[in-house]
Structure 1
Amino acid sequence: MQKRTFHFLSAFSTIFLLCNLLSITSMAQSKPKTIKVMTYNIHHGNPPERPGVIDLPAIAAVIKQHTPDLVALQEVDKITKRTGQVDQLKQLAELTGMFYFFSKGIDFEGGEYGVGILSKYPINSSNRYPLPSKAGIEAEARSLAVIHVTLPNGEGLHFACTHLDLNNEHRMLQIKEINNLIGRKKADVILAGDLNLTSSTPAMKLLEQYFTRSCTDNCAPTIPQDDPKEEIDFILLKKGTKIKVISHQVFPNIDASDHLPVMATYQLP
């Protein structure tokens, strides 16, 4: 009789343990997944307080410290004389262990200068789109980098990076083009970059026809890094998606560039 009781209790304990394990596994699987997105104007890897110095490991250290899944980078050199003929984005990808895509803005000092993307996820596809400027007004060529990745929830995401012109007339044309290229996509899109404008400008209002900023109230400034006064670096999510913003952060007291890095965390459906 005692043996039967022991076997019964042992079997009951095993069943109880299995039920608990299944419950824990189910909770883990149903826990909402998140992605972290960063935008960072890296000033071609030059800390502003150290003229002539190129310190890519400092930029990589910032990225690694905050562990973003996707990073939009601006002011990136590729094989230029200024930065020692280094492919900066490739080196940052190696230092951070991420995939990468470069999008040229202009030819510069024997190489190229533009924007780039780092991704924790393999890049399914990538495209470079030149952005327009107004005829008759001097302008530095700008581009839009767009990649497509598969997120942890199995859904696809288009991630875009840009660095808009200083001139408002150019910016308005460039934002109209961005809206046409990715704002009207019937897909999830996140756009990030140095937009060279503040949130109250007409150009931002035009962009907000299709996108929502990761921060809309009491947002911290992003430039200059030593005494930030203006917010010109943004992360925006295309309207109509089930992805939701959880947090928005500007990381202070970082002197690796003349901009501060910005990161938004999103909850995936």
Structure 2
Amino acid sequence: MRSVVTLFTFLLPIAFAKSYAQTKLKVITYSIKYGENPFENKSNIEDVGKFLYDMQADFVALQAVDSVTTRSGKVNQPQEFEQITSLYKVFSASQQIDNGKTGILLLSKWPITSTRIIKLPDNKLGTPQTAIIADVKMEGNKSMTFICANLDDKYGANRENQLNAITKAANTDNPVIFAGNLNIDPADLEFDSIKKKWQDTGNSAYTYDFNGTQKRIDYILLSKKNTWNVVEYKVYPQRYSDHFPVVTKLEVF
């Protein structure tokens, strides 16, 4: 009897590791500037929606998404993207603005089993921001956690605290993907916290380009406790926003 118990105990971690063997995923993060093309000053929700549909991603993190604001023509953008992509959605409003709301949108190919929305610390300075943390159920009864966030665009101390809050909230046994506009350039001090706490999927390609300023501030990050393979990382040069969409193809083991 003891040998059977010992064998079962020995096989448990192996079985858990195999449950994720070569799970392949496509992930997008994209800050869409509330659906307005900054170069032509006109709505481009249909263009963004078509891009997302064509990508056929498992997870999408969108930032600067409006819901029925005057500036975006009273369009319910979260609902529009849900209908275009046929993905499950969670929207979190960070601000009341222009007779509506603006915030972040998480889209998932997989059913969402639980959701947490956390208000990120800002010391009453900067722009209020939130993060969405969603647990999803995938094929083979596998679980994954996906996080969408937009960090403060003014104060480095706020971004550091917000990053720490998200890292703490992401304490789970699931593999975790964290995506969003973090407003952190690799030259910033806060980038050290990213490297210490997360696996970066990207390279030096810039993800923001407007009025002569080019920066890498949009990220897809991975939990360090898991084994990942970044199959592909690509920044698409779409001119629908002042940011470019970032797309990764991943495997988790």
Q: What does residue 47 of structure 1 align with? A: 37
Equivalent residues of 1:33, 1:152 under 8 A apart: no
Separation in 2, partners of 1:191, 1:247: 17
Task: Note if contact 2:226-2:252 (Cα within 8 Å) is conserved in structure 1.
Answer: no
Tell me by how many angstroms 1:153 deviates: 4.6
Letter paired with 2:79: K
Q: Given the alignment, which residue of 108, 114, 117 partners 2:106? A: 117
TM-score, normalising length: structure 2:
0.86
Equivalent residue letter for 2:32 = I
More strand by share: 2
Q: 1:148 to 1:226 in 2, by over 3 A?
A: farther
Aligned residues: 233
1:214 is the counterpart of 2:201: yes
2:144 and 2:40 mapped to 1: Cα distance? 38
| Residue in structure 1 matched with residue 245 of structure 2 by the alignment | 261
Do structure 1's residue 73 and structure 2's residue 62 form an aligned pair?
A: yes
Counterpart of 1:102 in structure 2 is 91
CA distance in 2, matches of 1:32, 1:165: 35
Residue 191 of structure 2 is matched in structure 1 by 204
In the alignment, does 2:172 pair up with 1:185?
A: yes
CA offsets per residue over residues 221-251 of structure 1, 9 Å max, x none?
A: 1111697721110000010113332211111
Aligned positions of 1:104-183 closer than 5 A: 104-135=93-124, 138-166=125-153, 167-182=155-170
Q: Distance in 2 between matches of 1:175 and 1:86?
A: 31
Distance 1:220 1:209 in 2: 21
CA contact (8 A) 1:179 1:207 kept: no
CA distance in 2, matches of 1:223, 1:208: 20
Unmatched tracts of structure 2, length 5 or more? 1-19
Aligned to 1:38: 28
Q: Which is higher, the Rg of structure 1 or of structure 2?
A: 1
Native 8 Å contact 1:89 1:102 kept in 2: yes
Letter paired with 1:56: I
Q: Report the CA distance shift for 1:141/1:198 in structure 2 as closer, same or farther (over 3 A).
A: same
RMSD: 2.0
Gaps of 5+ in 1: 1-29
* Paired AA for residue 41 in structure 1: S
- Which residue of the other structure, out of 45, 50, 54, is the alignment partner of 1:56? 45
